[in-house]
Chain A
Amino acid sequence: MEKFEKLSGIAAPMPLVNIDTDMIIPKQFLKTIKRTGLGVHAFDEMRYKDDGSENPDFVLNKPAYREAQIIVAGDNFGCGSSREHAPWALADFGVKVIVSTSFADIFFNNCFKNGMLPIVLPQEQVDLLMKDAEKGSNARMDVDLEKQEITTSDGEVIKFDIDPFRKRCLLEGLDDIGLTLEKAPAIQSFETQAAQSRPWV
């Protein structure tokens, strides 16, 4: 997996609550058997008009935010389906960090499998970052995973929490499957014991 250590980038404000995975990547783009190339379809229905041209009102189509790598979002970002196509599409677009007051569970997990960092903060701090993001391309935020800090364009520092295991996986770009396979003996011994205690499984 790609490492995540630090990022300095433009943050796009998306204050809408309950941005669901159907909005992030509509179903017609799930019929792929690859993980790549979905960035062009990210937020498809909000981003493009019926004739396929760009909707100039959508935040990521505005000149200031076309290169955004951070999204500051409303509550419950990523709710809905388990489709990992959602983080794949965002990562392919270039987004590596999303900040919100809460994330849907499966989307949150999926981000970490793709070198992306979802950050949960209290409402006041998300409001502050949202205001900062609204400044456009002047508002470069710095995200430092090691220090667990976001620095706003004004130099204000906001601390965030992260599960230590996930932090390590991101910092070192660790592959989950590889890590788990190191525990093959424990899995085998669990299976041997379960074959006795729950043979019907």
Chain B
Amino acid sequence: MSPKTLYDKIWDAHLVDTTPDGTSLLYIDRHLVHEVTSPQAFEGLRMAGRKVHAPDKTIAVPDHNVPTTPGREDPANMTEDSAIQVAALDKNARDFGVHYYPVSDIRQGIVHIVGPEQGWTLPGMTVVCGDSHTATHGAFGALAHGIGTSEVEHVLATQTLIQSKSKNMKVEITGQLQPGVTAKDITLAVIGKTGTAGGTGYVIEYCGEAIRSLSMEGRMTVCNMAIEGGARAGLIAPDETTFAYVQGRPHAPKGAQWEAALTWWKTLFSDDDAHWDKVVTITGEDIAPVVTWGTSPEDVLPITAEVPDPASFAGGKVEAAKRSIEYMGLTPGQKLSDIEIDTVFIGSCTNGRIEDLRAAAAILKGKKIKDGMRAMVVPGSGLVRAQAEEEGLAEIFKEAGFEWRLAGCSMCLAMNPDQLQPGERCAATSNRNFEGRQGKGGRTHLMSPAMAAAAAVTGRLTDVRELM
């Protein structure tokens, strides 16, 4: 048998049909659904008189535009348009009989945090969702990617997706990370190196010692931003860390089925002599704590650097950098650590898990946020929130001056009331720094939870190593 990558193996295990023109029909094991990209898809099913093909493999949760303040179970406390979308998801979930976690359920949260937490996401699966950050689930060695609403309808109706195969790209992070450097710095550093289109046409497999040393939370952070690098999906081969995380979760296999699953999962790795269409290698020790300075996730630099000169770029990036620097209100040559901020957002499917909250709380313990700073923590799920309260993290955040919110996507994409005002500048643990992403005219600097916590204390972008 010819050697295969992990992607090849998962792909082959899900092939329903291949036509002579090379298009394939791929079976989908898990379909995650949220309120923003699904209403038109369910409407399409209704109009065609179709059912959900596999309601047992379909999991719905409202996350994108739910408020993160108390009282949100009452639609009167939502904006009218948000309430309509959440009510539509409620109705669609019940009418079509899919698994559902409403806002009143402690298990509700960001769909990409709920899936793994509940054991819906398992190694070797295909996972899709009408959301680009579905890449998160690749951390389990599952082939996971975002789809549009038409494809959501296609998966609902058929439990398959028409696909053409991507190329294989290996991203290896060798060695170990330095103190203060986290999974977020890895994933941003990779995008800084490859660019936001560097992964276009590829599925990335992250490997190397530094990746192996990461917890599942960290691996999810890395894979989450594969999409920002342009890749269809990011993958990490499952290992003992993965199995230990999965075992005992509500929807993970049990007993004899666990043993059978484990036997298969242990075959899910790229063969030594597998073919890679592209290879990128980064030395773990060389990665510094990073921040973004511009309006594309590829605008990444170590916190010790300065705002670049647009003339230092080539091609269309010169104009884009000029526009970014103007939008961000920065000056070329300015030290990144001199940039003052007024808002801090800790949360999102990138960094809203328990380990992220622990890392931020470790910096904040016994400290206060800078006067006048607006800082919020939005746990990724109700269960993360409960665990953080149990571990005493919530108290640390509150004593430091952070708002302690309910679970949701919140200020990552600002579809709910958590938004930046024009000109406000935010240290954010989310995934996108696009113009207007966190609110019209808002300015976003992406970074790790520890770096965001450090910025909250000093009031400027800060090298977390100074506070450790």
In whole Å, how far is A105's beta carbon from the nearest beta carbon of chain B?
A: 5
Q: Do B150 and A113 touch across chains, with their CB atoms under 8 A apart?
A: yes
CA A114 – CA B147 in complex, angstroms?
Answer: 14
Checking B29, B36, B253, B436 against A22 with a beta-carbon cut-off of 8 angstroms, the contacting residue is B436
Whether B197 pairs with A79 at a CB distance below 8 angstroms is: yes
CB-based contact A200/B230 at 8 Å: no
Identity of the chain B residue whose Cβ is nearest the Cβ of A194 in the assembled complex: B27
Q: A22-B434, A22-B437 are in contact. Are A84 and B37 (CB under 8 A)?
A: yes
Q: Flag the segment in A24-32, A136-144, A148-156 that touches B.
A: A24-32
Q: Cβ of A35 < 8 Å from any Cβ of B?
A: yes
Stretch in A61-69, A90-98, A173-181 with 4+ CB within 8 Å of B: A173-181
For residue B201, which residue of chain A has the nearest CB? A105
Complex Cα spacing A163 to B159, Å: 23
Which residue on chain A has the smallest CB distance to residue B415?
A27
Q: Check if A110 is an interface residue, CB within 8 A of chain B.
A: yes
Which residues between 64 and 85 of chain A lie within 8 Å of chain B, taking CB atoms?
74-76, 79-84
Contacting A at CB under 8 A, from B123-161, are 124-125, 130-132, 134, 145-151, 153-154, 157-160
**Stretch of B77-85, B102-110, B271-279, B357-365 with 4 or more beta carbons under 8 angstroms from chain A:** B77-85
Whether A27 contacts B414 by the Cβ 8 Å rule is: yes
CB atoms of B323 and A181 under 8 A apart: no
- B21 contact set on A, CB distance < 8 A: 163-165
How far in angstroms is the closest Cβ of chain A from B165? 12
Docked-complex contact A187 and B230, CB < 8 angstroms: no
Nearest to A123 among chain B residues (CB) is B315
Q: Is the CB of B148 within 8 A of A31?
A: no
Contacts of A33 in B (CB 8 A): 39-40, 43, 84-85, 88
A-B contact count (CB 8 A): 192
The reply to whether the CB of B257 lies closer than 8 angstroms to some CB of chain A is: yes
Q: Are A20 and B434 in contact (CB under 8 A)?
A: yes
A104 touches B200 (CB 8 A): yes
Q: Using Cβ atoms and an 8 Å threshold, which residues of chain A touch B132?
A: 80-82, 106
Chain A contributes a number of interface residues (CB within 8 A of B) equal to 55
| Chain B residues closer than 8 Å to A40, beta-carbon distance | none
The residue that A18 contacts in the complex, of B16, B253, B320, with Cβ under 8 A, is B320
Query: Are B197 and A201 interface neighbours, CB within 8 A?
Result: no
Nearest CB of B to A102, in Å: 5
Q: Are B440 and A45 in contact (CB under 8 A)?
A: yes
Q: Is A199 an interface residue (CB 8 A)?
A: yes
**With known contacts A81-B131, A180-B158, A200-B261, A76–B85 Cβ distance under 8 A:** no
Q: Does B288 contact A (CB under 8 A)?
A: no
Q: Is A157 an interface residue (CB 8 A)?
A: no
CA A87 – CA B24 in complex, angstroms? Answer: 24
How far, in whole Å, are A34 and B147 apart by their CA atoms in the complex? 18
Chain B 167-195, CB within 8 Å of chain A: the 1/0 string? Answer: 00000000000000000000000000000
Instruction: Write the residues of chain B forming the contact surface with A, with a CB cutoff of 8 angstroms.
Output: 13, 16-17, 19, 21-23, 25, 27, 29, 36-37, 39-40, 43, 48, 50, 53, 57, 64-65, 79, 81-82, 84-85, 88, 122, 124-125, 130-132, 134, 145-151, 153-154, 157-160, 162, 164, 196-197, 200-201, 227, 230-232, 252-253, 257-258, 260-261, 264, 296, 298, 315-317, 319-320, 323, 413-415, 432, 434-437, 440
Additional A-B contacts beyond A177-B153, A180-B162, A187-B158 (19; CB < 8 A): A16-B323, A17-B316, A18-B196, A30-B36, A30-B415, A31-B79, A31-B84, A33-B88, A75-B197, A82-B37, A83-B37, A102-B230, A105-B200, A177-B154, A187-B25, A198-B124, A199-B257, A200-B122, A201-B122
A-B contact pairs, 28 of them (CB 8 A): A15-B319, A16-B316, A17-B315, A17-B319, A18-B196, A27-B415, A30-B36, A30-B415, A31-B85, A33-B84, A33-B88, A35-B149, A45-B435, A75-B197, A79-B196, A82-B148, A104-B197, A105-B232, A106-B132, A110-B148, A163-B21, A177-B48, A177-B154, A179-B162, A186-B25, A187-B25, A200-B257, A200-B261
Chain A to chain B: the 4 pairs with minimum beta-carbon distance, closest first: A200-B253, A113-B150, A31-B81, A110-B148
